[in-house]
């Protein structure tokens, strides 16, 4: 039972993992396992010690919040980076196809224009030959 360690030391109280040390009152009480945090009438958060004597609940909550928030932010950044990389890879893989299609259309346009010019030049040459009777 934890009460037997009241008015002794924090280390003695916390040898039993079910005990909670209240530094302000010097009491050793059962840890309220049904609640995550001890009630304020049992012990203030800044005075409550559990597991180790050098960390109070208030500091533990702040540290856990900072670590949890940092992990969530890092996960969000990693997800964003992965999505951006996938989009850029997809655009890069689509890019050459679009470039190749555009180049093929331009080649086809040039070929058609060249054929039109050849036909036009041939008709001019034929007119000149007819005019001068060399046909």
pLDDT digits (tens, 9 = 90+) for 42-72: 888 888 898 888 988 888 889 999 999 999 9
pTM as predicted? 0.52
43 within 8 A of 17, measured Cβ to Cβ: no
Give the span between the Cα atoms of 20 and 63, in whole angstroms: 19
What beta strand segments (E) does 2-115 contain? 19-22, 27-30, 48-49
Which has the higher per-residue pLDDT, 91 or 98?
Answer: 98
Q: How many helices (H) and strands (E) does the chain have?
A: 2, 3
């Amino acid at each position: 039972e934890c009460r037997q360690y009241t008015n002794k030391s924090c280390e003695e109280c916390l040898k039993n993992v079910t005990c909670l040390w209240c530094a302000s009152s010097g009491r050793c009480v059962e840890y309220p396992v049904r609640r995550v945090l001890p009630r304020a009438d049992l012990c203030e958060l800044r005075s409550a010690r559990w597991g180790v004597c050098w960390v109070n609940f208030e500091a533990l909550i702040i540290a856990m919040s900072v670590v949890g928030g940092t992990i969530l932010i890092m996960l969000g950044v990693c997800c964003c980076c992965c999505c951006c990389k996938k989009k850029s890879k997809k655009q890069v893989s689509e890019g050459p196809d679009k470039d190749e299609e555009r180049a093929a259309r331009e080649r086809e346009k040039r070929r058609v224009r060249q054929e039109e010019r050849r036909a036009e030049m041939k008709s001019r040459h034929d007119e000149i030959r007819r005019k001068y009777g060399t046909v």
